[in-house]
Each structure stands twice: as structure tokens, then as C-alpha cells.
């Protein structure tokens, strides 16, 4: 099975090794952003997708989640 | 070639060195040049007749003994002339024939190749294989500069025999690297070929693997980086005629808190509560070894490490600087500081600086810890360049001279200032930095300019008026990308590769499409190769493994280890690795083939399609006519017909730069034998219209 973002092999949660790492970092960091800016998960993803310091794999995951409207286990505010 | 008189045959590494050595040793500086089948050699007379013949760098290499079919892994190898092992041997066969002929008439032999591992192997192979096992009777010249004085001294004080420990260490390094390189690269290439039925050049090796691993690890951290937001508070303050910017002492992790603090401090005046000044001495830099020269040349001039190495080698062959492939940071007194400075003082650019040092009572360089048993640190010989230097050679020469002068300078005296201001009960700081005494910095000239940010004279209790306070939102940054300079430093720190091979390894990583860009980015192919090594042969990509082998080779050099034992151990490690790669050939091949194809495709991608915005503009060929053009990747899907014509001749590649005139994407066109030029894809671009009118 292919990764939701690229065509590499899936490791877990529908992501390949690279995008899984990015996805986990993305979800781990959300509470920090939430506390800092009182931001929703959706806005968080939009900001990350445009942020010049964010990594490419992270941006790809963020864009995928925005496109698919996937609400993950975090920050359903 | 009719020579009845017996002579000493002196073998040098390169033609330039042969001419210089012959002239230095010849009576009255005289040497006659001969050319046989395009191979130059020199005749000079000193205590006896001397024939000086150059090599062309390595004339021999390691190659598989059996031709075909090759066993797997290939463990049977021999040292053979390069023309037997390589596709494009150029003049090597003739060269070896001429040396062999000259060797027949010689009654004694001197190896005068550069005194390091590579030079020692070059001389050894010629003496052993070309001259008929003369390696045990040959003597050795050891020198660090190609100046007449040092060459004469080196000839008068010949080493009684070759340095066999150094040679064995070199042979072991070449043989182990060949065994690993050929077997691993072959396994990867064969796997990719089986998977895709198409040839892709893949390689890895004992040093390449760990180096790529550093880069891939950094890339992974960058690509998966999620920044944290934070806020700083900046206060613009008036002090006398100066407008200064003070920073709140804290970093705010919550935006609301930063805003509330800014509101609280607004419209209040500030007062200086404390001034802290600290003076410190900044010692002169150490003299250059090759790695630090490459790092500094990249930092100052953006000269790539390999180019620095070549420029330094050229300067050495012109006797302008000492031997550059050194790891020493020591300048022994025997090199003659005074004499070099006096000679440098004759060169206009350095007259004043050298004069200043010559006026000192005592000359003592600031040396680093690193040593090299064969050569001192890099230093200028003091010889004036015969013709004006240009390009990289000019920059490198100036850098070496200034660095040499700087090491004898006094410490610079610098001062940091920290001024604490209180605004509305909150502490803000102003920071300053200035040089109080130039010391060695004056010798480094414009190369040594440091950040200067002096603060105006201030006193505790002074009032300042606050013009503006604002919170500024920022984000944490990912770790920086390696550039050629920082990667070389990392390889040096981790003891991966040698001073002579590191720049070449980096070049190979670029050529294999594992990395690209000056701020190095790892490609998908680079990631996949690292991944394969990590999964199926972790020992190969481990820094620990390559470092241990480096240590073993140093021990051979010191006579503490035996060459065959080290090679046998390396082979035992290699065998199961190759077996594992073979066993997993299918998944490995699929991964590598896909990534290899992607890498080739990425090289042709110009950027986003300006029409459909979902496809990518790619340099491609028409299936019908075979003509080259730029088309949208959705062209063949039939959803976007955007296409631009391209010149049909010459090499074309994306520039990754926008047109200065219209901002559209450009490609580089390089017609054979002509200058490359940038082509803007926009048919309406005014720049294009102008060039057409011309």
C-alpha cells in the first residue's frame, strides 16, 4: 500500500516512514501552538503549510490533511 | 634514446615538479629538457648525471584479477597499470614505456614524489612494476616546498630507503576502499538494473556511505521540522543623537503575554540601571592545514573545496607555498620565519605587514594541536609569483600569506557591552561589540573583518526616551543545512576520510545525484541509498566502522599493524554485507530504481506550470518528432497543453532562477564550444525581444 502523501510504502497510519515522522512531529507540536496562539487545528495546519521554517515533509502532510479535511486525534477545537 | 653513461633516475609525481627539481639540482640551475613520445624528462648534472622523469599522478590502480565472469564478491585483485583498468587511459601506456626505458640504463633510483601516502604509492608502484623491483634499493627525497634551497638539502640528505610503513598504509587504504567500493556499488547497481532493466550509476563506499548518512540525517531533521512560535519585545529608544534597539530580556512563548507586556511598557521612559563591559583577547588563528584552508576559502570566497585543493596544488608546484596536503597546524622554526618574511616584504602588497613583524624582537607563531609527521602547516615560501596570479589561485595565495602573517601577530583586544534598561519595571538590554586593539586582525586585512557594533557612551542612571515598543513574532529554525565547508569540517571532526580524499568524495555525491545545491539538499535517491545501507548493511554506513579502519591504517603507518591482517579483517566484514545485499536484491532494486528515475526526472523539472498550476514544466522530447521542448507534465495526460520551444542543439538544464526582466522561469542553454546563456521561457519577455532584434 502506498503512503497517503507519496507513493512510498506505508509504515503506519497510512503514512510512509518520512511522512509518519512528519505527522507525529506535527501532532506533537500542536499543543505548543495552541497554548501560544489559541489556534484551531485547521488554522494550525494552514499556518504550517505556509511557514518557511517548516520542513517539506511536514508541509506535505499539512497540505494533505487540509485537502482531505482529516480531523485527527488532536485539537478538534 | 642512446645513453651509455649511467645515471640516477629521479621520479617525480607531476611534470611541473620534474622541471623544478631538475633545475634546482642541476649545476648552475641548468637542466636540459627532452621529450620522448610526448613524455618530458630532464637531464641535469650535479655530483653525477641525473635524469628526472615525472609520473602523471597515479599510473597504477587496483583492479580485479579475473576478467569475466567476475565472482561475487570480487576479492581477487592486483595493482595494474591504469590503462588496463580504465576506459580512457590517455597517454599512460606510452608514459610507462618511457619510464621503463629510462629505468633500464639507471644505476640508482630516487623517489622524489610528494612525501605523503599518495606520492609514496606513486613512486613505489613505478619503482616496483615499471623499473623492475627497484623499490628496495631506491632512496627517498623528502621536502615540503619546491624551492631550490630545500630541494638541494633534500637531495644532499636523502633518506636511505622508501618509507614502507607509509606505503603499506597507502596500499591498504586503496585496496580496502577498492574492495568496498567495487563490491557495494556493484551490488546496488545490479539490484537497480534487475528491477528496472535499465542502467543507473550508483555507488557507495567506506567513506561515501557515512558521509551521505550525515547529510541524510540532517535532511531528515530539516524535512520533519515543525517550528515553535515565540515572541520577542523590541524597544526603539532615543539616546542623544542615536536611535537604538533594545530587546526584552525574556523570550515569550505566549503571544498574549508578549502583547500585554508591550502595552504595559508603552509611553514610559527608561532608565539605565546597569552597564556591564567585558574585555577579552582573541588569539591569532592557527596556520592552515588543508581542511581549514578549504573551510576558510569557502567561507570567504565561496571557492569549492576541490577547487581550493587544485589551486593550492598549483601554487605548490610553482614553489609559492609549501605542500598543501598536510594536516599539520605547526610551523617549525626550521622553515626560517625571518627569511620568508624578508622575501614577502619584497612583494608590494605585503611590504608593510611583513616589515611590522620583522621589527618584532621575537617571532613565535600561534600553533594548533594537529600534527603531520611528513609536512608542516601550509606557509608561503616568500618567492614572488613569476606572473600576476588570477582567479582562485590569487585568492588562495593571498589567504595563505595573510594567515601566515596573522599567526605571528598579537592577540586582538575586543570588548562586549551589555546595557540594562528598565522600562516600566521590565528589563531590556542593549548589546554592543567593538575591537579595541587590532592585533593580528590587521594582517588578515579585509578577510578578518569582525562584527562591530559599538554603543554610544552611556552611564548608569541615564534616562532614555522610548519611541516605540512592539512584540515581534518569530519561529524557531531547523538545523542549518551543511555546505561544502561545514561538511568537510564534520568529516574532519568525525575522522571520516583523509585530507586528500574528502573533497573528491563530496564531488562524487553530487555527480551521483545523491545531493544537490550549495546549501546541500539530499535527493530522494540519496535517501534511498542511505536507507538501503542502514537496513541491510548498517555497519558500512556507521561512522564507528570507518573510523576504526582509519585507526588501523594509522597503525600500519606507525608500524604497529600489519597490512595483510587489516585487509583480511575488512574482507571478513564485507562478505556477509554483500550476502545480505544479494539476498534482498529485489526490494533494494525496486527502491533504488524508482528513486534513480525520480532523480533523473527532477534534473529536468523547471518549476510549476504557469497555466494549470498543478503540473510541472519539464524538459522533454516529442514522441512524434523527437524534438526537445519544455512541456507541462499534464501534457501527455491531455489536461494541459502548455509548451515552449527549446534550441535543439547543446546542453539544456533548469537554472532555478527567475528572469530578471519578467520573473518567468529560465533555462541554461550551453551550445557545444560556445558560452552558455540563459533563455527566458516567456515568449513575450522584453529581454527576449531585445536579443532577437540584436
Which residues of chain A are under the pLDDT cut of 70?
70-77
Q: Answer yes or no: is A16 within a domain.
A: no
Helix/strand number for chain B, H first, E second: 22, 23
In the numeric block, the cell 554483500 is attached to: B578
Q: What residues of A are in contact with residue B254 (Cβ under 8 Å)?
A: 35-36
Distance CA A9, CA B426 (A): 54
Q: Which of residues 11-50 of A touch B (CB under 8 A)?
A: 18, 21-22, 25-26, 28-29, 32-33, 35-38, 48
At B68 the pLDDT is 63
Distance CA B110, CA B119 (A): 13
DSSP, collapsed to helix, strand or coil, labels residue B314 as: helix
* Number of independent structural domains in chain A: 1
B628, β-bridge pairs: B621
State which residue of chain A sits closest to B591, comparing Cα positions: A8
At B3 the pLDDT is 53
In the numeric block, the cell 594537529 is attached to: B370
DSSP, collapsed to helix, strand or coil, labels residue B636 as: coil
Q: Answer yes or no: is A6 within a domain.
A: no
Residue B405 C-alpha, separation from nearest chain A C-alpha, in angstroms: 42
Contact B376, B338 (CB under 8 A): no
Chain A contact present for B613, CB below 8 A: no
Distance CA B103, CA B274 (A): 80
Q: Which three cell numbers stand for residue A29?
A: 507540536
Q: Answer yes or no: is A53 within a domain.
A: yes
In the numeric block, the cell 607531476 is attached to: B14
At B4 the pLDDT is 62
Q: Which three cell numbers stand for residue B610?
A: 504557469
Q: Is B452 exposed, middle or buried (0-12, 13-18, 19+ CB in 10 A)?
A: exposed
Contact B618, B601 (CB under 8 A): yes
B223 and A28 in contact by Cβ < 8 A? no
A35 and B255 in contact by Cβ < 8 A? no
Nearest to B255 among A18, A36, A51 (CB): A36
Conformational region of residue B286, where left means phi above 0, alpha means psi within -120 to 50, and beta covers everything else: beta
Q: Which three cell numbers stand for residue B229?
A: 512560535
Rounded-to-10 torsion of CA B125, B130, B131, B137: 10
CA B433 to chain CA centroid, nearest Å = 32
Contacts 24+ apart (CB under 8 A), A68-73: A68/A4, A71/A41, A72/A27, A72/A41, A73/A27
Residues 6 or more apart whose Cβ sits within 8 Å of residue B59: B81, B82, B92, B95, B96, B122, B125, B126, B130
Contact B606, B630 (CB under 8 A): yes
Phi/psi for B235 (5° steps) reads -115, 125
**Helix axis angle, B290-301 to B391-407, nearest 10°:** 120
Contact B253, B259 (CB under 8 A): no
Which residues of chain B are under the pLDDT cut of 70?
1-4, 67-70, 89-90, 687-694
Of these residues, B42, B115, B180, B323, which one is catalytic? Answer: B323
DSSP output for A24-73: HHHHHHHHHHHHHH---HHHHHHHHHH-TTS-HHHHHHHHHHHHHT---S
State which residue of chain B sits closest to A48, comparing Cα positions: B226
DSSP 8-state secondary structure symbol assigned to residue B408 = T
DSSP output for B427-446: EEEEEEEEEEE-TTHHHHGG
pLDDT (tens digit per residue) in B473-527: 999 999 999 998 899 889 988 888 887 788 889 999 998 889 988 899 999 899 9
At B499 the pLDDT is 78
Nearest to A57 among B223, B229, B230 (CB): B223
At B691 the pLDDT is 47
At B611 the pLDDT is 85
Contact B51, B64 (CB under 8 A): no
Distance CA B418, CA B429 (A): 7
A55 and B478 in contact by Cβ < 8 A? yes
Q: Answer yes or no: is A73 within a domain.
A: no
At B359 the pLDDT is 95
Element (H, E) at B341: helix B337-344
Q: Answer yes or no: is A14 within a domain.
A: no
Contact B238, B558 (CB under 8 A): no
Residues 6 or more apart whose Cβ sits within 8 Å of residue B572: none
A30-46 core/surface letters (b: 16 or more CB in 10 A; e: else): bebbbebbebebeebbe
pLDDT (tens digit per residue) in B411-424: 999 999 999 999 99
Task: Using the Cα atoms of residue B462, residue B465, residue B470 and residue B476 in order, give the sign of their dihedral.
Answer: negative
B224 and A58 in contact by Cβ < 8 A? yes
Nearest to B225 among A36, A37, A53 (CB): A53
ipTM value for the complex:
0.95
Residue B528 C-alpha, separation from nearest chain A C-alpha, in angstroms: 11
Q: Answer yes or no: is A43 within a domain.
A: yes
Q: Answer yes or no: is A33 within a domain.
A: yes
Distance CA B227, CA B440 (A): 41
Distance CA B264, CA B317 (A): 69
**Domains in chain B with CATH codes:** 7-162 (3.40.50.140), 172-223+483-597 (1.10.460.10), 229-284+412-475 (2.70.20.10), 290-407 (1.10.290.10), 607-693 (no CATH)
Q: Answer yes or no: is A7 within a domain.
A: no
Contact B19, B34 (CB under 8 A): no
**Hey, how many other C-beta atoms are within 10 angstroms of the C-beta on B118?**
19
**Domain boundaries, position A53:** 22-68
DSSP output for B256-313: HHHHHHHHHHTT--EEEEEEEEEEEEEPPPPPB-HHHHHHHHHHHH---HHHHHHHHH
At B679 the pLDDT is 87
At A76 the pLDDT is 42
Active site residue B323: yes
DSSP E strand boundaries for B72-158 = 77-81, 106-111, 139-140
Distance CA B182, CA B240 (A): 71
Element (H, E) at B630: strand B628-632
Amino acid at each position: 500500500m502506498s503512503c497517503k502523501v507519496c507513493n512510498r510504502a506505508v509504515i503506519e497510519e497510512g503514512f510512509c516512514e518520512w511522512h509518519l515522522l512528519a505527522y507525529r512531529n506535527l501532532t506533537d507540536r500542536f499543543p505548543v501552538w495552541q497554548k501560544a496562539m489559541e489556534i484551531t487545528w485547521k488554522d494550525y495546519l494552514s499556518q504550517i503549510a505556509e511557514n518557511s521554517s517548516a520542513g517539506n515533509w511536514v508541509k506535505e502532510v499539512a497540505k494533505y490533511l487540509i485537502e482531505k479535511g482529516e480531523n485527527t486525534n488532536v485539537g478538534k477545537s | 634514446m642512446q645513453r651509455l653513461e649511467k645515471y640516477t633516475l629521479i621520479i617525480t609525481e607531476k611534470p611541473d615538479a620534474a622541471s623544478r627539481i631538475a633545475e634546482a639540482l642541476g649545476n648552475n640551475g641548468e637542466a636540459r629538457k627532452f621529450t620522448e613520445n610526448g613524455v618530458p624528462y630532464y637531464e641535469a648534472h650535479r655530483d653525477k648525471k641525473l635524469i628526472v622523469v615525472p609520473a602523471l599522478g597515479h599510473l597504477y590502480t587496483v583492479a580485479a584479477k579475473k576478467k569475466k565472469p567476475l565472482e561475487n564478491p570480487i576479492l581477487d585483485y592486483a595493482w595494474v597499470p591504469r590503462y588496463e583498468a580504465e576506459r580512457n587511459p590517455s597517454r599512460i601506456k606510452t608514459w610507462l614505456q618511457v619510464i621503463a626505458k629510462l629505468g633500464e640504463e639507471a644505476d640508482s633510483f630516487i623517489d622524489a614524489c610528494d612525501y605523503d601516502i599518495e606520492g609514496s604509492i606513486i613512486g613505489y608502484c613505478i619503482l616496483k612494476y615499471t623499473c623492475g623491483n627497484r623499490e628496495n634499493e631506491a632512496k627517498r627525497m623528502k621536502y615540503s616546498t619546491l624551492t631550490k634551497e630545500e630541494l638541494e638539502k633534500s637531495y644532499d640528505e636523502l633518506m636511505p630507503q622508501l618509507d614502507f610503513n607509509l606505503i603499506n598504509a597507502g596500499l591498504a587504504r586503496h585496496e580496502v576502499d577498492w574492495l568496498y567500493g567495487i563490491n557495494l556499488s556493484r551490488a546496488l547497481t545490479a539490484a537497480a538494473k534487475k528491477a528496472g532493466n535499465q542502467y543507473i550509476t550508483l555507488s557507495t563506499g567506506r567513506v561515501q556511505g557515512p558521509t551521505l548518512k550525515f547529510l541524510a540525517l540532517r535532511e531528515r531533521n530539516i524535512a520533519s521540522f515543525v517550528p515553535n512560535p515565540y515572541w520577542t519585545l523590541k524597544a526603539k529608544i532615543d539616546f542623544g543623537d542615536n536611535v537604538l534597539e533594545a530587546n526584552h530580556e525574556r523570550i515569550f512563548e505566549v503571544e498574549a503575554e508578549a502583547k500585554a507586556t508591550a502595552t504595559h511598557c508603552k509611553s514610559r521612559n527608561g532608565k539605565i540601571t546597569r552597564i556591564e563591559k567585558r574585555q577579552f583577547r582573541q588569539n591569532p588563528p592557527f596556520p592552515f592545514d588543508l581542511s581549514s584552508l578549504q573551510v576558510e576559502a569557502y567561507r570567504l570566497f565561496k571557492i569549492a573545496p576541490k577547487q581550493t585543493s587544485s589551486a593550492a596544488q598549483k601554487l605548490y608546484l610553482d614553489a609559492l607555498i609549501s605542500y598543501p596536503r598536510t594536516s599539520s597546524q605547526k610551523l617549525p622554526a626550521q622553515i626560517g620565519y625571518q627569511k620568508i618574511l624578508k622575501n614577502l616584504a619584497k612583494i608590494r602588497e605585503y611590504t608593510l605587514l611583513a616589515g611590522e613583524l620583522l621589527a618584532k624582537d621575537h617571532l613565535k607563531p600561534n600553533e594548533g594541536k594537529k600534527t603531520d609527521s611528513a609536512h608542516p602547516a601550509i606557509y608561503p615560501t616568500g618567492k614572488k609569483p613569476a606572473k600576476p596570479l588570477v582567479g582562485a589561485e590569487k585568492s588562495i595565495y593571498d589567504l595563505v600569506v595573510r594567515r601566515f602573517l596573522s599567526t605571528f601577530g598579537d592577540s586582538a583586544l575586543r570588548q562586549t557591552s551589555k546595557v540594562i534598561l528598565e522600562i516600566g519595571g521590565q528589563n531590556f538590554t542593549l548589546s554592543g561589540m567593538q575591537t579595541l586593539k587590532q592585533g593580528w586582525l590587521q594582517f588578515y586585512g579585509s578577510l578578518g573583518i569582525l562584527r562591530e557594533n559599538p554603543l554610544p557612551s552611556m552611564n548608569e542612571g541615564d534616562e532614555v526616551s522610548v519611541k516605540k515598543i512592539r512584540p515581534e513574532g518569530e519561529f524557531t529554525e531547523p538545523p542549518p543545512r551543511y555546505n561544502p565547508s561545514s561538511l568537510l569540517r564534520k568529516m574532519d571532526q568525525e575522522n571520516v576520510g583523509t585530507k586528500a580524499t574528502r573533497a573528491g568524495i563530496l564531488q562524487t555525491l553530487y555527480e551521483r545525484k545523491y545531493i544537490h545545491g550549495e546549501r546541500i539538499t539530499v535527493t530522494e535517491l540519496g535517501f534511498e541509498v542511505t536507507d538501503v545501507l542502514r537496513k541491510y548493511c548498517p555497519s558500512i554506513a556507521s561512522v564507528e566502522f570507518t573510523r576504526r579502519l582509519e585507526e588501523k591504517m594509522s597503525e600500519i603507518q606507525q608500524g604497529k599493524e600489519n597490512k595483510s591482517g587489516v585487509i583480511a579483517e575488512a574482507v571478513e566484514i564485507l562478505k556477509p554485507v554483500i550476502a545480505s545485499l544479494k539476498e534482498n536484491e529485489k526490494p533494494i532494486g525496486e527502491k533504488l530504481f524508482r528513486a534513480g528515475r525520480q532523480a533523473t526526472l527532477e534534473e529536468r523539472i523547471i518549476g510549476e506550470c504557469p497555466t494549470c498550476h498543478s503540473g510541472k514544466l519539464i524538459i522533454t522530447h516529442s514522441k512524434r518528432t523527437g524534438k526537445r521542448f519544455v512541456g507541462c507534465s499534464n501534457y501527455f495526460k491531455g489536461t494541459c497543453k502548455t509548451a515552449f520551444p527549446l534550441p535543439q542543439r547543446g546542453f539544456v538544464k533548469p537554472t532555478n532562477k527567475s528572469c530578471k526582466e519578467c520573473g518567468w522561469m529560465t533555462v541554461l542553454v550551453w551550445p557545444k564550444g560556445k558560452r552558455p546563456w540563459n533563455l527566458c521561457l516567456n515568449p513575450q519577455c522584453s529581454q527576449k525581444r531585445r536579443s532577437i532584434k540584436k
